[in-house]
Amino acid sequence: MSKVTVLGGCGVVGSIAAETLVSSGVFSEVVIADIRIAQAKKVAERLGPGKASAVEFDALSPQSIRNAIEGSSLVLNCVGPFYEYGPVILRAVIDSRTNYIDVCDDLDATEKLLDMNEDARKAGISALIGMGSSPGVANVLVRFCADSMLDQVEAVDIYHAHGGEKVEGAAVVKHRIHSMRMDIPMFLNGQFTTVGLFEESGKALEEEVEFRDVGSYNVYAYPHPETLTLPKYLTNVKRVTNLGLVLPPAYAELIKGMVRVGVTDEEPIEVQGQKIVPLEFAVAFILSRRQELMREAGLSEPMGCLKIVVTGYKNGERNAYVFSMSSRGQGMGEGTGIPAALGAILMATGKIDAKGVNPPETCVSPMDLLELARTKVSLGGKEGFPIVIEHIDKDGNSQRVDLFG
């Protein structure tokens, strides 16, 4: 039994992760750390006296971070946006010599976190980064294909569509804006390259994708860490892409439109005598329109799907495996928080012990994760993340795969 601290434990993802950790029975105490201490105390009280506690912390203060995690054997970081907070928090955790997991899906932050690998190794700690759904489960399933199903992986195409959560925070919108403004890394024709969302290079990757239980949507280039880390793990892979969409589509188009016209700059401008940061206005405006756009689309509950298509060769013949994780009634909180919690459980029970800073595909055993997910360590008796696997042979014949018979 050990103590785990969930940084950002009041958020959509952090609160689900904390609830999953408490329900697992693996930890002697789950600490809810958040700058919103009153709300943190409410979350801890809901999770149960003696099982959870609350502490206040500032994600930009190394000393505050170290104070919050004191006495913990493991830290689960759910504070976003990661491009702002991730490096600061991991540095403080390394200095505290505490094992670490996060749900970082910002590519530029991932690069900075990976640069701390040697420091983490010297400190003797294990740091697993990007342990959500994508990145996270997606990486582990690709590794499963590479290790057990195919002799050679030729291409990995990751697709995701989700939305409909009751509440969406400013940090989530800022993450999306940040992702749209940057050069987006992809691995194409055996080489690392970048594309622009609004440029021909990015538009050339857009495609219509059918998502199980969710529908068919047009997805666009998304800068997730899988396109950076998977090509380094997969020998001779030719393509790794990541394409996604936030639902409803009109909401995604609103965000894209604000970025396209340049209303997301961070340099203040003067408006009628007041200094206004365009980015802050854009985020507030986007969130003010969200509920109406959801009503117009008939989106009344969280829903989403992660789809991973892995193609390659087995015994010289071309094969493909399609993994789908879909849900209705569960959204980003469950889709990210539950895998993160399962990763924390695996680390706490000694099944993730690689030192340094590692992405999921390098240190998480696929069968360990899938077995744990099968035990329904989650909330309210719901499954952690049901996965549908389809095998497509060289002749195009499709067949469902049951991993556990």
Q: Which pLDDT score is estimated for 4? A: 98
374 pLDDT more than 90: no
Average pLDDT of the segment spanning 36-45: 97
Residues 213, 73, single domain; the answer is no
Q: What is the CATH number of the domain that holds 177?
A: 3.30.360.10
CA distance 7 to 59: 8
Residue 380's pLDDT band, with cuts at 50, 70 and 90, is very low
The reply to whether 89 and 209 lie within a common domain is: no
Q: What is the pLDDT of residue 23?
A: 92
Are 153 and 86 members of one domain?
Answer: no
Residue 380 lies in a domain: no
In a domain, 237, yes or no: yes
* pLDDT given at position 405: 58
In terms of domains, do 310 and 341 share one? no
β 2-7/27-34 pair status: parallel
Q: Are residues 282 and 199 in the same domain?
A: yes
Q: Would residue 338 count as lying in a domain?
A: yes
Cis peptide preceding 135, ω within 30 of 0: yes
The reply to whether 57 falls in a domain is yes
288: in domain: yes
404 within a domain of the structure (yes/no): no
Q: Are residues 218 and 309 in the same domain?
A: yes
What whole-number percentage of the chain has pLDDT above 90?
87
Question: Is residue 342 predicted with pLDDT exceeding 50?
Answer: yes
Same domain membership, residue 126 and residue 185: no
Instruction: Look up the pTM and report it.
Output: 0.92
Report phi then psi at 399, rounded to 5. -150, 135
| Whether the predicted pLDDT of 44 surpasses 50 | yes
pLDDT in tens, 152-210: 999 999 999 999 988 888 888 998 999 999 999 999 999 999 999 999 999 999 999 99
Q: Flag whether 209 is in a domain.
A: yes
pLDDT in tens, 233-264: 999 999 999 999 999 999 999 999 999 999 99
Q: Write out the two tokens for 115.
A: 């640069």
Residue 402 lies in a domain: no
CATH number at residue 56: 3.40.50.720
Q: Name the nearest CA neighbour of 78 among 62, 92, 59, 95.
A: 59
Residue 398 has what pLDDT? Answer: 95
Same domain as 192, residue 112: no
Range of the domain at 224: 137-330+387-391
The answer to whether residues 299 and 223 belong to one domain is yes
Mean pLDDT of the chain: 94
Given a cut of 90, whether residue 8 has pLDDT beyond it is yes
Do 33 and 74 belong to one domain?
A: yes
Mean pLDDT of 69-91: 96
Selection from 386, 385, 387 nearest residue 335 by Cα = 385
CA 331 to chain CA mean position, Å: 12
Whether the predicted pLDDT of 384 surpasses 80: no
Confidence of residue 362 (pLDDT cuts 50, 70, 90): very high
Domain co-membership, 301 together with 337: no
Number of domains into which the chain is organized = 2
The answer to whether residues 360 and 314 belong to one domain is: no
Helices 107-114, 226-233: inter-axial angle, 10-degree rounding = 50
SS3 for the chain is: CEEEEEECCCCHHHHHHHHHHHHHCCEEEEEEEECCHHHHHHHHHHHCCCCEEEEECCCCCHHHHHHHHCCCCEEEECCCCHHHHHHHHHHHHHHCCCEEEECCCCHHHHHHHHCCHHHHHHHCCEEECCCECCCEHHHHHHHHHHHHHCCEEEEEEEEEEEECCCCCCHHHHHHHHHHHHCCEEEEECCEEEEECCCCHHHHCCCEEEEECCCEEEEEEECCCCHHHHHHHHCCCCCEEEEEEEEECHHHHHHHHHHHHCCCCCCCCEEECCEEECHHHHHHHHHHHHHHHHHHHHCCCCCEEEEEEEEEEEECCEEEEEEEEEEEECCCHHHHHHHHHHHHHHHHHCCCCCCCEEECHHHHCCHHHHHHHHHCCCCCCCCCCCCCEEEEECCCCCEEEECCCC
